[in-house]
Amino acid sequence: DTAVSQTPKYLVTQMGNDKSIKCEQNLGHDTMYWYKQDSKKFLKIMFSYNNKELIINETVPNRFSPKSPDKAHLNLHINSLELGDSAVYFCASSPLARGNEQFFGPGTRLTVL
Amino acid sequence: LAKTTQPISMDSYEGQEVNITCSHNNIATNDYITWYQQFPSQGPRFIIQGYKTKVTNEVASLFIPADRKSSTLSLPRVSLSDTAVYYCLVVVEGGKLIFGQGTELSVKP
């Protein structure tokens, strides 16, 4: 009964490919997020959705496109992958938006070769 | 430019109290300050959250001065299992969520 789950856990792919990471939460939360954690462990928010609507869209290349089919899911699609996209991507959810307590998924380690 | 600053690393011994301070200029007026713990190969996990003064729960205390431009996470009597990276998270003016760069705490026997 995992609260926030992500698939896949590991993703290894070639430059130029398109890939997706899926996230699901069973906590009934209204807000979901995508974060990128680089090799220096910096955590940066990429996107936030509240009730399926985009509320935060940080300076992220438009090769990254989030999609929220329903409140419990927030998927991340990445086009034309680049070496610099290699990182760990975390999905999170919270009952309310902004600084509310967030519950994180286990992360997806993306390696672009 | 909104910035959130923490010490990069700290060392401690089992049984000691550890205090980690995060400086956050440009913090938004009405939002919480939150601290997270992260173990290797796991997602961050919520520890404690506060708005002002002092908050205490079963694992930590959080001290926030009146101007809210910093916060201090206090871990009483740390054990080896507290070895992890600790992050502060604040909301800055404009609604942007900013994590500190993380403090790597190493607890030694």
All domains in chain A, ordered by first residue: 4-112 (2.60.40.10)
Tell me: pLDDT of B2 over 70: no
Question: Quick check: B34 and A101 CB within 8 A?
Answer: yes
Question: Quick check: B96 and A58 CB within 8 A?
Answer: yes
pLDDT in tens, A64-84: 999 999 999 999 999 999 999
pLDDT in tens, A7-42: 999 999 999 999 999 999 999 999 999 999 998 889
Residues of A within 8 A of B36 (CB-CB) are 102, 104
Tell me the CB-side half-sphere exposure of residue B9, using CA atoms within 13 A. 5
Chain B closest CA to A98's CA: distance in Å? 7
Handedness of CA A57, A12, A27, B86 (dihedral sign): negative
CA distance A79 to A61: 10
Tell me: pLDDT of A98 over 70: no
Domain enclosing residue B79, as ranges? 4-108
CATH number, domain at B44? 2.60.40.10
Does B54 contact chain A (CB < 8 Å)?
no
End-to-end CA distance of chain A: 34
